[in-house]
Amino acid sequence: MTAAAAAVPDDPEYARIPDTPAKGTVILLNGTSSSGKSSIARALLDTLDGTWFHVPVDAFHSMRGGTPIADEDLQAEIDRTAKGFHRAVAGMAAAGNNLVVDHSLTRRWRLLDLLGLLEPRNTFLVAVRCPLPELERREKARGDRQPGLAALQYGQVHAHGTHDLDVDTSVLSPQECALRIRDLLRRRPSPTAFERFRRTAPVTG
């Protein structure tokens, strides 16, 4: 609490929830592990006008306490975290915050869930692509990712097809990808991929 707020605790102004004039824009970076999502997100925060948040699903996984999870409970735990992550993202955007979301749409329900939560006109879906041999090279070089994770996700993350933009991080630097995404935002394609999905996919939530 600020000193000013403490000085006038009964002032009704401090009980008024601030207006949020517009919904935030969401850039949804979708790619496998090691495809370069976080690197692009960092470049975007230095490139885009205004204030943006980098919101990686990994940050939510890393908030979990250290109690061991039984193998048979692991998928439910991951699903619950992803579902909560989607709602946290939607809440931040609804309050007017601009977000770079770093996620892997490995299961179709994740896309369907987000379709029901995010404002489709303000959501831009970017496919972060990279050929599998390069993903495997990066995975090995990093040493902090489960070996084989990228290969497991490779055929899944882009299976739904449409995106607003594709970038290939085996030929573009993170900065070059960020500039293409900045151009996409300036063009503001209409309809967006999310708007097109909304017309054809069952919306949940």
Ligand X SMILES: Nc1ncnc2c1ncn2[C@@H]1O[C@H](COP(=O)(O)OP(=O)(O)OP(=O)(O)O)[C@@H](O)[C@H]1O
Q: Structure tokens of 70? A: 């039984």
Q: Is 33 annotated for ligand binding?
A: yes
The answer to whether the CB of 60 falls within 8 A of the CB of 88 is yes
Using CB under 6 A as the binding rule, whether residue 106 contacts ligand X is answered as no
* Window 111 to 170, contacts with ligand X (CB under 6 A): 138, 142, 145, 169
173 in a labelled binding site: no
By CB neighbour count within 10 A (0-12 exposed, 13-18 middle, 19+ buried), where does 75 fall?
Answer: exposed
Interface pick for ligand X out of 25, 30, 33, 123 (rule CB under 6 A) = 33
> One symbol per residue from 43 to 62: x for binding ligand X (CB under 6 A), - otherwise; what is it?
---------------x----
Decide: 25 and 156 in contact? Cβ < 8 Å. Answer: no
Site string for ligand X, 164-203 (x = CB under 6 A): -----x--xxx-----------------------------
Contacts of 31 (CB under 8 A, 6+ apart): 37, 104, 127, 128, 129, 130, 157, 169
23 binds ligand X (CB under 6 A): no
Distance of CA 162 to the CA centre of its chain: 16
Interacting residues with ligand X (CB under 6 A): 31, 33-39, 58, 102, 138, 142, 145, 169, 172-174
Binding site listing: 31-38
